[in-house]
Structure 1
């Protein structure tokens, strides 16, 4: 049995990565979601790694709406993989934004991602409490040939499997603080790894600490994402992709929990339809947000504001929906297995991704009354 609300998402995942969903489904949930899990290795081998890279560069050329559905399908099978792959995909999307004004090196990197199936880590939001959303804890020492980077990224999803580490740092210029992005081979001299993630939920996402100790990055692998006080298109596009895909991943995770309820035939048709109604509302909200982005490329800051409002609405909805689905699975499911509890906790992770709703209240309130929005200055 399958949940019909997932039919479109799973069909699109199959079209971009034939047989991949079936391969994930063949692995027991407990094995998919607990380390050491093979889901990330399978993603690298068979999954839609080049989903957002255009076909001319060897990628799959997916549009924004298809990408949303692919993440929903992944979340419904493996929340850990969905969250981890979001970090890869939004990093790719940020590189795509850089290619609009770049020297061409970014385009070559994107082609390598698609053709060699390279995995990228995310470059922002290192998880420091109280830090600004555009802050970085990387220290950069400028040299004539590039920079020496030192610092830590934690949590860093895909930490054991990444091919390219992306890291952000601040460069001081006469015009102000410039946000820079460095692309670094994951096996570069000076990079070490350490355990970090302690929660059993989302434990297969390979969220570890990656430490950099004077890692040299040549100038050709350094890219400007604009100034911190003037949020540019590159940064805005990166935030948009992140928010959209991470929401889709958690909506998918909640759909997976609902699938368990439907398959078990729990409670009454009325209760099951009530679950499906709230799930469909979340899916439709994401589809609407994707269309908003597609149709208003000239108004990205306000598109981001509306997307954040959708995200915070989905956060509330998923809390209620996952609670109800978990209750419907019943006490015996809770007592005899960790599966329902891990599904429930996996549905709750969205609220911990930046920017937190409380940090955005003033920014969004300004948008509501003045129709202008900026994410600059917000805190996780």
Structure 2
């Protein structure tokens, strides 16, 4: 046992011991396959409730513990880490809404936790150059229901989801978050993800054709989140967890370098420095979230860290692979796979292009907003 990721392994073992054992016992490429079954094992181990407070039936992990758990998961299965990040994003956003809403809404969250529901995220990361805050689905009021149309591609957890959360544009001009049971008539899943990289995240297309949802499952932002802070908090959770996942994937290369016994200490340290520096930044922001900080400033700090870490992980993975050497690359499919998976971090929203202007203007004294 190495000292690398000691805290992360301990956190995973403490919250999800059965999952920790399963991930340690299962080869990387088996976990990453489209039909791996890893998401079901995550659900059975209780992972769906990781970030929900104990009073709501959850495991009560702090943001700090959650990012450590996610780094450990990402080091064993980047697909599982990426897919479950979308679940945590959805549930954390719903929990933020519920804490400021009615007892009935809080009971809904508790029910989802008790059912160990897997929740997919129907927000708009599939739109090239688009914003996570601009809905790609539409809804119109029909009596005591809303009729929703649109599609989400890619949509992680598409095969395992029990519930889809979707950002929708209502015909009144309002935005809303809709909670849609996966077995609702009009929902269909279609093959979209063709690459083997991160195939285990189940990121296919989910189509909604005249899907009717009761009005009490549609949370109007103007009424429930007028300043957008709850929704922005959901994206704080997303940013923290998705970054920790890819730090974990890069850390897996470090583990292989240690195991190889190459004694290229300088190469190892170059890679480890970038990864550990990135994790320290993520942990710092997680602590701020745990202390109650919300809003623009923490969102800006996290986005700047994510942008820096993207480049750092490319450097780190290149340094680690160079130190491992050509024979190791030829003999192990894991090494090339992990390198490719690390590069996928750059594809998660928001893009640098979409937020750079707003980030720069925030430092100049303007309000920050996602593009």
Q: Give the TM-score category using the shorter length.
A: over 0.9
* CA–CA separation in structure 2 for the residues paired with 1:296 and 1:357: 27
1:206 maps to: 202
Aligned partner (choices 315, 320, 325) of residue 320 of structure 1 = 315
1:304 maps to: 299
Q: Which runs of 5+ in 2 are unaligned?
A: none
Aligned partner (choices 189, 204, 209) of residue 185 of structure 2 = 189
Superposition deviation, residue 105 in structure 1: 3.5
1:356 maps to: 351
Conserved 8 A contact 1:169-1:179: yes
2:287 maps to: 291
Task: Name the SS of the counterpart of 2:210 in structure 1.
Answer: strand
1:170 maps to: 169
Instruction: State how 1:241-252 maps to structure 2 within 5 Å.
Output: 241-252=237-248
Aligned partner (choices 260, 278, 282) of residue 274 of structure 2 = 278
Superposition deviation, residue 276 in structure 1: 2.0
Conserved 8 A contact 1:147-1:218: yes
1:373 maps to: 368
* CA–CA separation in structure 1 for the residues paired with 2:243 and 2:227: 22
What is the TM-score when the length of structure 2 is the normalising length?
0.95
* CA–CA separation in structure 2 for the residues paired with 1:197 and 1:35: 10
1:34 maps to: 33
1:342 maps to: 337
User: Deviations 1:283-316 (Å, cap 9, x if unpaired)?
Assistant: 111111112333452x511110111111111111
* CA–CA separation in structure 1 for the residues paired with 2:279 and 2:46: 22
* CA–CA separation in structure 2 for the residues paired with 1:327 and 1:47: 38
* CA–CA separation in structure 2 for the residues paired with 1:150 and 1:7: 46
Q: In the superposition, relative to structure 1, how do residues 64 and 44 fare at CA in structure 2: closer, same or farther (>3 Å)?
A: same
Task: Name the SS of the counterpart of 2:219 in structure 1.
Answer: strand
* CA–CA separation in structure 2 for the residues paired with 1:280 and 1:352: 22
* CA–CA separation in structure 1 for the residues paired with 2:292 and 2:55: 25
Superposition deviation, residue 273 in structure 1: 2.7
Task: Name the SS of the counterpart of 1:197 in structure 2.
Answer: coil
Superposition deviation, residue 250 in structure 1: 0.8
Number of corresponding residues: 370
Superposition deviation, residue 335 in structure 1: 2.1
Superposition deviation, residue 371 in structure 1: 6.0
2:121 maps to: 122
Superposition deviation, residue 134 in structure 1: 1.4
Superposition deviation, residue 107 in structure 1: 1.6
1:216 maps to: 212
Conserved 8 A contact 2:188-2:208: yes
Conserved 8 A contact 1:68-1:248: yes
2:134 maps to: 135
Task: Name the SS of the counterpart of 1:302 in structure 2.
Answer: helix
1:332 maps to: 327
Aligned partner (choices 220, 233, 238) of residue 237 of structure 1 = 233
Conserved 8 A contact 1:155-1:197: yes
| Cα RMSD after superposing both structures | 1.8
